[in-house]
């Protein structure tokens, strides 16, 4: 495979709120009013102004994305996307693909050149990490091919197991 887009992808283990990027993506729910997991961590770190702005948005359907300011975060923006609750049906992968595509598109529309994603749907929503990783990476590579102004996309994994899954997949596709 042509290696350019893969070189723009980084895999890191850690906490997404610490990332020094233009925008981070939040794995939200349809209310956009906060929750646990990465959503809770982002709201705590960004501060109460984030919830105030989210209240003005009026929610977000599964598979779509909405943008807010980053407030107390380093990131200028937070892109909130709502992943599917894993059901084992075909619609899961279509919805998760749309989360990544819509988040990347919204980032590009706001001149974001560096973006960090958590593993959307892979916590409370139960999406298997190996399947979700392929969707995340493949959708991002396809976006990067068409959108050269995006310079860096970082996948931030909380656990070392998840970090390993992503690194293995990047090695696999780099060798193709
Ligand atoms: N940085 C990076 N990754 C994290 C962090 C963090 N600070 N915290 C958790 N993760 P989840 P979902 C990982 O459950 O499955 C919320 O309540 C975590 O290990 O946060 O999309 C929302 O309000 C997992 O791999 O999101 C929704 O109701 C991944 O982030 C619901 O959870 C996603 O786990 C969304 O569920």
Residue 28 has pLDDT above 50, yes or no: yes
C-alpha 124 to ligand 1 mean position (Å): 7
Q: What is the pLDDT confidence band of residue 176, given thresholds at 50, 70 and 90?
A: confident
User: Is the per-residue pLDDT at 3 higher than 90?
Assistant: no
For residue 53, what are the domain limits? 5-174
Q: Tell which atom from ligand 1 comes closest to the C-alpha of 122.
A: 15
Mean of pLDDT over the chain: 97
Nearest CA to ligand 1 atom 34: 123
pLDDT digits (tens, 9 = 90+) for 99-151: 999 999 999 999 999 999 999 999 999 999 999 999 999 999 999 999 999 99
**SS3 per-residue string spanning the chain:** CCCHHHHCEEEEECCHHHCCCCEEEEEECCCCCCCCHHHHHHHHHHCHHHHHHHHCCCCCCCCCEEEEECCCCCCCEEEEEECCCCCCCHHHHHHHHHHHHHHHHHHHHCCCCEEEECCCCCCCCCCCHHHHHHHHHHHHHHHHHHCCCCCEEEEEECCHHHHHHHHHHHHHHHCC
CA of 120 to the centre of ligand 1 (A): 7
CATH of the domain at 85: 3.40.220.10
How far is ligand 1, taken at its centre, from the CA of residue 40, in Å?
A: 8
- Ligand 1 atom with the shortest distance to the CA of 125: 15
Per the structure, how many domains does the chain have? 1
Ligand 1 binding pocket mutation candidate from 118, 121, 157 (most atoms within 8 A of CB):
118
Provide the pLDDT for residue 4.
Answer: 87
Ligand 1 center–CA 121 separation, angstroms: 7
């Amino acid at each position: 495979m042509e290696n350019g887009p893969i070189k723009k992808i980084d895999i890191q283990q850690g906490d997404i709120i610490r990332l020094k990027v233009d925008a981070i993506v939040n794995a939200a729910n349809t209310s956009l009013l906060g929750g646990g997991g990465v959503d809770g961590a982002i709201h705590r770190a960004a501060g109460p102004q984030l919830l105030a702005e989210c209240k003005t948005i009026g929610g977000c359907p599964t598979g779509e994305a909405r943008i807010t300011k980053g407030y107390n975060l380093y990131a200028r923006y937070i892109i909130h996307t709502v992943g599917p609750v894993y059901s084992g049906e075909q619609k899961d992968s279509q919805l998760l693909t749309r989360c990544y595509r819509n988040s990347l598109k919204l980032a590009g529309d706001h001149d974001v050149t560096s973006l960090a994603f958590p593993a959307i749907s892979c916590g409370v929503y139960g999406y298997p990490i190996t399947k979700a990783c392929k969707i995340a990476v493949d959708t991002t590579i396809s976006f990067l091919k068409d959108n050269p102004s995006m310079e860096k996309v970082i996948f931030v994994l909380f656990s070392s197991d998840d970090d390993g899954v992503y690194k293995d997949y990047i090695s696999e596709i780099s060798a193709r």
